[in-house]
């Protein structure tokens, strides 16, 4: 054990430094006797239901889609309630927020550790610095928030690095990737698109990588595939049970709501969101946005510098793929494709936001800070890897 720790002390130290805002937030929640109210209180109450005969099969009620259909619509699944069930039932209320802070800290440490696997110490240190910088673009209370629009952001950050590693043939990460991806996608609808984008890139990369290897070099892949399937079955069983026992089920209602003719912000808003994600000055390097700033960002034309720099970043991400393919730099290929896929997910989320919900983009697009941070990190690392 001491030998294992000895070889990883620097990684753990860098991860701990990146996770410090989450740890401090968790400690603060305990110090001030954090108490849930509003939506947080509903989440706490539903978490208490987990160990009863009324255990939730679906997630949190979503006001926007419920108004569209005039029916109660919920986020896909209950993993958030499962996570908070023990502190909600056996500990004081503040431990629910502390639990989220500690889980988020683990996500940051995991992201830094995976960055070390992908790019050694330079990328590890860059990631450890970038995470706290990115967190400054978010409200401080979100670091240990139990509110479901805030909860998935740090796990999404971990998922991005998991998907990158998965696409580089790290097949042992399959079960963990499915676990994190399911948690993120089931907790809030605005995270479904980036979850699908990241997971798809990781899985396609894994398949291509494994097919390029000989049978003897692949290792015991199937046992990890089976484990991943079992994890997925456990996490998606509740919403599938709800679907089978209700007509219409919640998943059917989500599909109907997504295909209604409700006016959307449209492709221009999607493009503006991408500009603010990677263009100068990107969201992840700014302070927290309020409702008015969020509305302005997706409804008004960005400045020339922002548009030009965003195009430059996107073109550079495409450009590094060409020499990477020629030199068989799998990490660069998967990393750049993943960054582009996340930018596409940003555009999709912004464009598909209902026009009457434009005041929500300041929190539904918070995850774009993760996408922007990752895009800049992977671009800088790719350029150094290819040309330095």
Determine the Cα–Cα distance for residues 127 and 113; give it in Å rounded to an integer.
9
Tens of pLDDT, residues 214-253? 666 566 889 999 999 999 999 999 999 999 999 899 999 9
Q: For the chain, what are the domain ranges?
A: 1-253, 261-388
Tens of pLDDT, residues 88-131? 999 999 999 999 999 999 999 999 999 999 999 999 999 999 99
Measured CA to CA in angstroms, residue 285 lies from 132, 138, 309 at distances of: 10, 10, 14
Class of residue 52 by CB neighbours under 10 A (exposed 0-12, middle 13-18, buried 19+): exposed
Tens of pLDDT, residues 278-328? 999 999 999 998 899 999 999 999 999 999 999 999 999 999 999 999 999
Structure tokens, 182 = 């399911």
């Amino acid at each position: 054990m001491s030998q294992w720790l000895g070889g990883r002390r620097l990684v753990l130290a860098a991860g701990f430094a990146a996770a410090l805002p989450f740890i401090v937030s968790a400690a603060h929640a305990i110090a001030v006797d954090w108490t849930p109210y509003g939506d947080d209180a509903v989440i706490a109450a539903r978490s208490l239901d987990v160990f009863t005969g009324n255990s939730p099969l679906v997630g949190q009620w979503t006001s926007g889609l419920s108004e569209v259909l005039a029916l109660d619509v919920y986020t896909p699944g209950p993993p958030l309630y499962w996570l908070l069930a023990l502190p909600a039932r056996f500990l004081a209320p503040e431990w629910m927020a502390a639990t989220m802070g500690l889980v988020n800290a683990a996500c940051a440490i995991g992201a830094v550790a995976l960055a070390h696997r992908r790019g050694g110490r330079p990328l590890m240190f860059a990631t450890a610095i970038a995470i706290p910088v990115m967190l400054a673009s978010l409200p401080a209370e979100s670091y240990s928030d139990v509110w479901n629009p805030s909860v998935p952001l740090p796990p999404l950050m971990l998922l991005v690095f998991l998907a990158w590693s998965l696409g580089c043939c790290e097949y042992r990460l399959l079960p963990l990737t499915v676990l994190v991806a399911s948690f993120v996608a089931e907790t809030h609808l605005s995270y479904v698109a980036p979850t699908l984008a990241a997971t798809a890139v990781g899985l396609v990369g894994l398949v291509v990588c494994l097919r390029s290897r000989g049978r003897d070099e692949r290792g015991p892949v199937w046992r990890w595939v089976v484990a991943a399937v079992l994890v997925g079955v456990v996490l998606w069983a509740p919403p599938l049970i709800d679907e089978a026992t209700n007509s219409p089920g919640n998943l059917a209602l989500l599909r109907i709501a997504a295909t209604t003719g409700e006016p959307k912000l449209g492709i221009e808003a999607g493009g503006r969101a991408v500009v603010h994600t990677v263009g100068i000055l990107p969201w992840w390097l700014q302070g927290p946005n309020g409702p008015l700033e969020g509305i302005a960002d997706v409804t008004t034309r960005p400045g020339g510098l922002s548009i030009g720099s965003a195009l430059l970043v996107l073109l550079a991400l495409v450009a590094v793929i060409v020499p990477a393919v020629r030199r068989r730099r799998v990490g660069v290929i998967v990393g750049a494709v993943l960054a582009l896929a996340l930018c596409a997910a940003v555009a999709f989320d912004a464009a598909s936001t209902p026009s009457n919900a434009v005041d929500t983009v300041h929190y539904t697009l918070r995850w774009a800070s993760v996408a922007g941070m990752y895009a800049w990190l992977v671009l800088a690392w790719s350029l150094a890897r290819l040309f330095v």
